[in-house]
Amino acid sequence: MRASTDLRAHAWRAHRQPPCVIMSSMITVTVDLGQRAYPIHIGPALIDRTDLFAPHMRGGTIAIVTNETVAPLYADRLEAALAPLGKSLIRIVLPDGEVHKHWETLNLIFDRLLRERADRKTTLIALGGGVVGDMTGFAAASYMRGVPFIQVPTTLLAQVDSSVGGKTGINHPLGKNMIGAFYQPQAVIADTSVLRSLPERELAAGLAEVIKTGAIADHSFFSWIESNIETLTQYDEAALAIAVRRSCEIKAKVVGEDERESGLRAILNFGHTFGHAIEAGLGYGEWLHGEAVGCGMVMAADLSARLGLLSENARGRLLKVTREAHLPTRAPALGDDRYIDLMRVDKKAEGGEIKFVLLKQIGEAVVSTVPEADLRATLAAAV
């Protein structure tokens, strides 16, 4: 086996599940961060559960941050659930899409909070997908130097990944999510019944993060995904609930061990170094984040195989399940030099050296730098 140039970082597999509480059809997974621990509630019709929101409301005002697509679907329902709490409700509706994940849109949140004289006990609720969650969390981290917030993710990608772990931020023209903060929510309320309203493309984008989680940390989960991928793409609620639960269990364990990505947590970026370059190179919003990650995983698996870390059989399995999830597996032709320039802006890069999350086998990931010749070979084969 030919090793990569730097295997100093971390290889990891999930062997234990974090604390999990089952209440009727709702499952609760805990992100264990000591005094800042918080629950992830997973199940149907949770958006209507006043009791899930009530313990986290300290002040007299609640600001719901959503977007123009999600607001007509779920904002009224959420406000109805919050009404018995007797709080003043503010609704902030943002433009939809990754292309709007920038300072100007973030300021729309601050402008409204300031006009409404929201104070430090105001609770923000992010009602939407990953863009809404990231921006609401960053606004909560920044407004008056920190106010509480709750995640109510309405896309599969947000439920399995972006709503959990406290990464918040916005994009910069030179790099994705390069401006932000680690700031944990009070709770995540993942209503699996809302996933029925997702367009097929958004569902597939979320499945990329599900596949990623199994690929880096749990071979048995990955095998389950392979066996159930058709069911998942057909919006089967029971299968989707399993996918959300296991993905959250794994991410909660990783975040509990490495909240600020000083080591272990970097494995959650499998496919993201390539994926972020695709998003930035094409222009934010041209591909969905999950689409870029799906293609990025295929590229990272190819690179892993070239380095002698991953078997051809395992590489083929990841390629097959990614295709069956209806995700792109061919990269856009940006040019090798352009890809490398964009990846050098990645948050994992150090001293101009690009670090990649690679696979040693299905269920075990490693963080490493790689020889440029192998990287260029992968880029050439990917388009």
Say yes or no: 166 and 52 in one domain: yes
Whether 6 maps to a domain, the answer reads no
Residue 153: strand pairing partners:
128
* Predicted local distance difference test score (pLDDT) of residue 24: 52
> Which pLDDT tens digits describe the chain residue by residue (383 residues)?
333 333 233 343 444 444 454 445 899 999 999 999 999 999 999 999 999 999 999 899 999 999 999 999 999 999 999 999 999 999 999 999 999 999 999 999 999 999 999 999 999 999 999 999 999 999 999 999 999 999 999 999 999 999 999 999 999 988 888 899 999 999 999 999 999 999 999 999 999 999 999 999 999 999 999 999 999 999 999 999 999 999 999 999 999 998 988 788 899 999 999 999 999 999 999 999 999 999 999 999 999 999 999 999 999 999 999 999 999 999 999 999 999 999 998 766 777 789 999 999 999 999 999 999 999 999 999 99
Whether 5 maps to a domain, the answer reads no
DSSP 117: T
Say yes or no: 227 and 368 in one domain: yes
Say yes or no: 192 and 341 in one domain: no
Question: Does the annotation count 209 as an active-site position?
Answer: yes
Question: Does the annotation count 348 as an active-site position?
Answer: no
Which of 67, 171, 177, 269 is catalytic? The answer is 269
Say yes or no: 191 and 209 in one domain: no
Specify whether the CB–CB gap between 188 and 307 falls below 8 A: no
Question: Does the annotation count 269 as an active-site position?
Answer: yes
Which of 41, 67, 209, 291 is catalytic? The answer is 209
Of 176, 196, 216, which closes a domain? 196
Whether 216 maps to a domain, the answer reads yes
Which of 15, 115, 117, 145 is catalytic? The answer is 145
Whether 244 maps to a domain, the answer reads yes
pTM, to two decimals: 0.90
Which of 289, 315, 348, 355 is catalytic? The answer is 289
β-strands 38-43, 61-67 pairing:
unpaired
Whether 291 maps to a domain, the answer reads yes
β-strands 20-23, 38-43 pairing:
unpaired
Say yes or no: 173 and 203 in one domain: no
Please state the residue numbers annotated as binding site for NAD(+).
Answer: 96-101, 130-134, 154-155, 167, 176
Which of 212, 246, 272, 355 is catalytic? The answer is 272
Say yes or no: 149 and 228 in one domain: no
Question: Does the annotation count 315 as an active-site position?
Answer: no
Of 137, 163, 196, which closes a domain? 196
Count of the separate structural domains present in the chain: 2
Of 196, 226, 243, which closes a domain? 196
Q: Could you tell me the strand order of the sheet in which 364-368 lies?
A: 11-12, 364-368, 356-361
Question: Does the annotation count 289 as an active-site position?
Answer: yes
Question: Does the annotation count 276 as an active-site position?
Answer: yes
Question: Does the annotation count 219 as an active-site position?
Answer: no
Q: Which domain CATH number covers 77?
A: 3.40.50.1970
Collect all residues with Cβ–Cβ distance below 8 Å to 207 and sequence separation of at least 6: 156, 229, 232, 233, 243, 290, 294, 325, 326, 327
Question: Does the annotation count 15 as an active-site position?
Answer: no
Say yes or no: 223 and 319 in one domain: yes
DSSP secondary structure of 199-252: -HHHHHHHHHHHHHHHHHH-HHHHHHHHHHHHHHHTT-HHHHHHHHHHHHHHHH
Alpha helices in 54-146 (DSSP H): 76-82, 103-115, 130-142
Q: Which domain CATH number covers 265?
A: 1.20.1090.10
Which of 251, 306, 315, 347 is catalytic? The answer is 251
Query: What is the rounded CA–CA span in Å between residue 191 and residue 257?
Result: 26
User: Among candidates 68, 47, 55, which has minimal Cα distance to 153?
Assistant: 47
Say yes or no: 147 and 247 in one domain: no
Domain that holds residue 289: 11-15+198-382
Instruction: Give the type of residue at 241.
Output: A
Whether 226 maps to a domain, the answer reads yes
Collect all residues with Cβ–Cβ distance below 8 Å to 34 and sequence separation of at least 6: none
Say yes or no: 69 and 127 in one domain: yes
Say yes or no: 69 and 105 in one domain: yes
Please state the residue numbers annotated as binding site.
Answer: 96-101, 130-134, 154-155, 167, 176, 209, 272, 289
Say yes or no: 124 and 224 in one domain: no
Q: How far is CA 4 from CA 253, 280, 316, 328, 342, in A?
A: 27, 26, 21, 27, 21
Specify whether the CB–CB gap between 322 and 211 falls below 8 A: yes
Which of 167, 212, 245, 348 is catalytic? The answer is 167
Token duo for residue 294: 């799906």
Please state the residue numbers annotated as binding site for Zn(2+).
Answer: 209, 272, 289
Instruction: Give the type of residue at 321.
Output: V
Whether 52 maps to a domain, the answer reads yes
Whether 156 maps to a domain, the answer reads yes
Say yes or no: 25 and 163 in one domain: yes
